[in-house]
Amino acid sequence: MTLSAELGARLRAAGLDPASVESLARAALAEDLAGGVDVTGVATVPQGQQSTADYVARADGVVAGLAVAAAVLEVAGVPGAQQRVEDGSTVVRGDRLMTATGPTRDLLVGERSSLNLLGHLSGVASLTRRWVDAVEGTGARIRDTRKTTPGLRALEKYAVRMGGGVNHRMSLSDAALVKDNHVVAAGGVLPAFAAVRARFPGVPVEVEVDSLDELVQVVEAGADLVLLDNMTVGQLVEAVRLTGGRARLEASGGLTLDRARAVAETGVDFLAVGALTHSAPVLDIALDFRERD
C-alpha cells in the first residue's frame, strides 16, 4: 500500500519527504519479515479479523514521529491512524498518542517497526527538550550535529526541532565546517577558511578553533560563525568578549547537561550537542490492543 494523500501532506508539513519516509517504512518491514510471513500472527489470528490498538506512552517525555509511525502502518496495510496528540507535545505515562484500526495481522506486522521509529524519535525530542529547558532564558540555542544514524538524519533532525532545538547543517553540501583535519590539509586555519570562501562564495562557513588566538584570527578574517572546541567556561567568556558581536559563537566538545546552563550564560549563541541524536534513550511507548467484545 502506498501512502495516502492526507498522510503525505502531513509529512510534507513537518518538513519530511513522503517518498523517503515510505521507502524507510518498506525497508523496515522487509527487514522484519525477511521474505517470509509473521508466523506467529498467521498461526494465532484468523484471516480477516479486525482490531483497534492504541499507541500509549509508558513514560513522560516529548512525542515525535507519529506521522512516521502512521506511514509504517499504512505500508503494512492499516491506513487512517488517528493522532490524539501533536508532535512536540509533552506527554505523561498513560497518555494515548495515536489509535489505529485495521486487520489484526497487519497491525501486528507494523507494530514493532512503527514503535522502533516512534520511540527513537520521541527519545531524541525528549532529550533535546531537557537541554532546551536547561538553557532557558540565556538566549543560547541548542543545536544538533551530523552525528546521526545513517539513513535517519532527516527524521532525527526533525525530532530535534520537535524538542525545541535547532538544526545545524543537514549535509556536507549545504554549509561548510572547517575542522582540524581541514586545517592540517590546507596548511592552517586561515588558508582553509579562505579556500572555502573562494571556492564556494555563497555557502555559509563555520570555522572550528581551539584557542583564543585562532578565534581572533578567523573573526578578523571575516568568519561569521565560529565553533569553540573544548573550551572552559572562562575561555568561552573571554571568547565572547574578544568577538564583540562580530561573529556568532558555538560551544562544542565535552558538553554535559549539568553544565549546559553555565556554558550558555557565557554569552555564546549555540551549544552543539551530538548526544541529542547519538545517545538519546528511547521513549518507552507501547501498542496496546483493545479488548475484543
Find the catalytic residue in 95, 111, 208, 250: 208
For the chain, the residue count is 293
Quote the CA–CA distance of 241 and 264 in Å, as a whole number: 14
Quote the CA–CA distance of 257 and 126 in Å, as a whole number: 13
Q: Is 38 a catalytic residue?
A: no
Q: Is 74 a catalytic residue?
A: no
Find the catalytic residue in 74, 229, 250, 269: 229
Q: Is 60 a catalytic residue?
A: no
Q: What is the DSSP letter of 222?
A: T
C-alpha cell at 215: 578565534
Quote the CA–CA distance of 153 and 26 in Å, as a whole number: 17
For 139: left if phi > 0, alpha if psi spans -120 to 50, otherwise beta; the answer is: left
Phi/psi at 222 (5° precision): 110, 10
Exposed, middle or buried by CB within 10 Å (0-12, 13-18, 19+), for 277? buried
Quote the CA–CA distance of 33 and 35 in Å, as a whole number: 5
Find the catalytic residue in 84, 96, 112, 130: 112
Quote the CA–CA distance of 237 and 23 in Å, as a whole number: 46
Find the catalytic residue in 58, 179, 197, 261: 179
Q: Is 199 a catalytic residue?
A: no
Q: Is 229 a catalytic residue?
A: yes
List, by residue number, the catalytic residues: 112, 147, 179, 208, 229
